[in-house]
């Protein structure tokens, strides 16, 4: 959904400080209180003004038809609109014109007015003279902030037929592409030392036919048929507190004032779904849940907008013998009780391949031996490496042979004399 970039040009009542500059495209956040107040305002709150002759205000005869009234109103509204006309009485004049038009353009109100004059309209439901005649009268100089108060909720019930367009079609403007995620599973050693991977991704790619612009090749922009090139659409809106001339960014051209013939290949979006193979260099030291950002390889932007990024999320297969703990690697080595006593050399599977590890004589069960710098290169600084830690398990025979038993008993006798077993 596009942001509502609507702009109000007509305004009545309210307590907004004056002298805000023209603010085309400015968002007008509507305080909830203001919205509620506007909606809830009853016709009874209408202020009292001197009687006005609506026909002479618009410069039409009493028998003028709707078309003539509308045309007269438009001409005058353009002339006295506070945005255009900076003369001191322009605001007042504009209000009077709008007020007159509101009544004379409505058959029912006009008929009441014809019979009873302005007074006849005071009690008429839905007559929105309050904003023009009430307390807020002197504050017409900032006509820009009321718009969302009334129309932010989706524009229910105002004429001009713009309700659907305000937030809808505007969303097709040039925009940055979305980021994309790709899950990449690596072997244990690929994560340790890095690797080069070719991956196939499917995402929105720049349309080749229009080179991403969304414009049909060989065509040139035309003035927008909806707004006639102004980029704005103006409509008259009746609300509980008055009638407003309000302008909104043209929903057809997003305010650009011109439209292009859409590229047939991509429907004017500037991008098409496509699969692509890309090569990714995975640096040494990545671990599970590492995220690699590949700039510009996400979805292409709409109508030539910047591309999003591709995030490659790493997962790593387990190794049966080695367990990663950050930059360190853990494993176990199992030796016999005899080797534990006498010392031995064991082959340990490391990330560099099998490496001989000296197990000193008298190594206790559960001892951890360290193989320095046989671990994982540090991510981002490959000259630093972690260690490989080997925990020593010692096996003790559960069913020794009678010969073995005899020898152990001999040892027992020996040690009971020398005490060396302790
Ligand atoms: Zn295209």
The CATH number assigned to the domain with range 6-153 reads 1.10.287.110
Distance, CA 162 to ligand 1 centroid (Å)?
Answer: 28
The CATH number assigned to the domain with range 174-220+261-317 reads 2.60.260.20
Distance, CA 206 to ligand 1 centroid (Å)?
Answer: 8
Distance, CA 156 to ligand 1 centroid (Å)?
Answer: 35
pLDDT-derived band at 38, boundaries 50, 70, 90? very low
pLDDT-derived band at 139, boundaries 50, 70, 90? very low
Grouping H, G, I as helix, E, B as strand and the rest as coil, residue 225 is coil
Condensed to tens digits (0 to 9), the pLDDT of residues 157-182 reads: 333 333 323 332 333 568 899 999 99
**310-316 and 180-186 beta bridge pairing:** parallel
Q: Is 373 left (phi over 0), alpha (psi -120 to 50) or beta?
A: left
Domain 174-220+261-317 and domain 323-418 have a common topology: yes
**223 DSSP β-pair partners:** 258
Q: Is the model's pLDDT at 127 over the cut of 90?
A: no
Q: Which candidate, 339, 345, 335, 338, places its Cα nearest to that of 366?
A: 335
Q: Is the model's pLDDT at 28 over the cut of 80?
A: no
**Residue 110 neighbours by CB under 8 Å, 6+ apart:** 103, 104
* pLDDT, mean of residues 335-357: 97
Backbone phi, then psi, for 373, in 5-degree steps?
55, 30
Domain boundaries, the chain: 6-153, 174-220+261-317, 323-418
Q: Is the model's pLDDT at 276 over the cut of 80?
A: yes
**Residue 232 neighbours by CB under 8 Å, 6+ apart:** 7, 24, 247, 248, 249, 250, 255
Distance, CA 254 to ligand 1 centroid (Å)?
Answer: 19
Distance, CA 269 to ligand 1 centroid (Å)?
Answer: 7
Q: Which candidate, 8, 239, 233, places its Cα nearest to that of 102?
A: 239
Please tell me the least confidently modeled range out of 7-21, 28-42, 139-153, 358-372: 139-153
**Residue 385 neighbours by CB under 8 Å, 6+ apart:** 327, 373, 374, 375, 376, 377, 378
* pLDDT, mean of residues 97-123: 77
pLDDT-derived band at 230, boundaries 50, 70, 90? confident
Alpha-carbon span 210 to 216, nearest angstrom: 6
- CA pseudo-torsion sign 62, 67, 71, 74: positive
Condensed to tens digits (0 to 9), the pLDDT of residues 365-415 reads: 999 999 999 999 999 998 999 999 999 999 999 999 999 999 999 999 988
pLDDT-derived band at 6, boundaries 50, 70, 90? very low
Condensed to tens digits (0 to 9), the pLDDT of residues 78-101 reads: 888 877 777 888 888 888 888 888
Distance, CA 232 to ligand 1 centroid (Å)?
Answer: 27
Q: Is the model's pLDDT at 357 over the cut of 60?
A: yes
Q: Is the model's pLDDT at 48 over the cut of 90?
A: no
Query: What architecture (CATH level 2) is domain 323-418?
Result: Sandwich (2.60)
Distance, CA 274 to ligand 1 centroid (Å)?
Answer: 13
Q: Which two tokens stand for residue 188?
A: 């244990």
94 exposure class (CB count in 10 Å sphere: 0-12, 13-18, 19+): buried
**E-strand spans in 112-241?**
180-186, 195-206, 222-223, 232-239
Rounded percentage of the chain residues whose pLDDT exceeds 70: 73
Distance, CA 273 to ligand 1 centroid (Å)?
Answer: 11
């Amino acid at each position: 959904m596009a942001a509502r970039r609507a702009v109000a040009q007509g305004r009545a009542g309210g307590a907004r400080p004056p002298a805000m500059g023209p603010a085309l495209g400015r968002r007008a956040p509507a305080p909830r209180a203001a919205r509620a107040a506007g909606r809830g305002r009853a016709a009874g709150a209408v202020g009292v003004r001197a009687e006005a002759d609506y026909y002479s205000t618009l410069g039409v005869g009493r028998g003028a038809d709707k078309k003539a009234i509308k045309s007269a109103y438009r001409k005058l509204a353009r002339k006295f609109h506070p945005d255009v006309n900076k003369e001191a009485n322009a605001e007042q004049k504009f209000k009077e014109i709008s007020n007159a038009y509101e009544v004379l353009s409505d058959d029912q109100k006009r008929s009441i007015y014809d019979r009873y004059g302005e007074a006849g309209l005071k009690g008429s439901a839905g007559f929105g003279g309050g904003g023009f005649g009430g307390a807020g009268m002197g504050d017409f100089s900032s006509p820009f902030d009321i718009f969302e108060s009334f129309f932010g909720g989706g524009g229910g019930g105002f004429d001009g037929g713009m309700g659907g367009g305000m937030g809808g079609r505007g969303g097709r403007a040039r925009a940055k592409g979305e980021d994309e995620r790709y899950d990449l599973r690596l072997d244990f050693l690929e994560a340790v030392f890095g690797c080069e991977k070719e991956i196939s991704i499917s995402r929105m790619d720049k349309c080749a036919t229009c080179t991403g612009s969304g414009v049909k090749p060989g065509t040139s922009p035309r003035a927008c048929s909806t707004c006639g090139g102004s980029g704005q659409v103006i409509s008259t809106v009746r609300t509980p507190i008055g009638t407003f001339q309000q302008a909104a960014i043209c929903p057809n051209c997003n305010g650009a004032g011109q439209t292009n013939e859409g590229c047939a290949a991509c429907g004017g979006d500037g991008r098409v779904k496509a699969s692509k193979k890309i090569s990714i260099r995975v640096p040494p030291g990545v671990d599970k849940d590492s995220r690699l950002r590949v700039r510009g390889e996400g979805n292409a932007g709409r109508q030539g907008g910047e591309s999003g990024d591709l995030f490659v999320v790493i997962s790593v297969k387990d190794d049966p013998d080695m367990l990663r703990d950050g930059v360190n690697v853990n494993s176990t080595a199992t030796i016999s009780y005899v080797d534990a006593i006498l010392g031995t050399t064991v082959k340990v599977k490391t990330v560099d391949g099998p490496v001989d590890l000296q197990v000193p004589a008298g190594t206790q069960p559960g001892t951890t031996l360290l193989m320095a710098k046989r671990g994982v290169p540090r991510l981002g600084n490959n000259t630093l490496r972690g260690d490989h830690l080997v925990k020593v398990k010692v096996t003790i025979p559960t069913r020794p042979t009678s010969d073995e038993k005899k020898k152990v008993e001999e040892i027992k006798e020996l040690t009971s004399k020398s005490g060396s077993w302790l």
